[in-house]
Amino acid sequence: MQPTATVLVYSDDSHTREQVRLAGGRRPAPDVPVVEFVECATPQAVLRELGRGGVDVCVLDGEAVPMGGMGMCRQIKDEVFDCPPVLLLIGRPQDAWLATWSRADAAVTLPVEPVEFAAALASLLREKRLQRA
């Protein structure tokens, strides 16, 4: 049985969640585990899933409503013990400083560009694997 990684995707927009799933694919790179996506449309759902444990990477939509991914990132970095790495989806490259403020581990712009997204996700999955070792 292949090892799997759980990726939480937060966005109120089902189209954005679909873009993330399609861009990440089953395996974003040959040297990382197969990915299982857990989709969340509300901040409460994100906190519930993180409370259950087992999330390897979070992908948060900076444009989500009512709480954007930047605020959600900052909150979970403060409140979730051993918070998984966060990949933030930002509206414009100029918003990268906000991603830094929110303490995101990586950021890519919307709409999701598959090669860029898969590379960023694979990088965070590799880092997570090294942390466990």
d(CA 60, CA 64): 8
Beta strand pairing call for 57-61 and 4-10: parallel
Residue 22: inside a domain, yes or no? yes
Residue 50: inside a domain, yes or no? yes
Residue 124: inside a domain, yes or no? no
Q: pLDDT of the chain along its 133 residues, tens only?
A: 668 999 999 999 999 999 999 999 999 999 999 999 999 999 999 999 999 999 999 999 999 999 999 999 999 999 999 999 999 999 999 999 999 999 999 999 999 999 999 999 999 999 887 776 6
Residue 80: inside a domain, yes or no? yes
Residue 122: inside a domain, yes or no? no
When divided into structural domains, the chain yields a total of: 1
d(CA 29, CA 98): 28
**CATH code for position 41:** 3.40.50.2300
Structural domain boundaries enclosing 74: 4-113
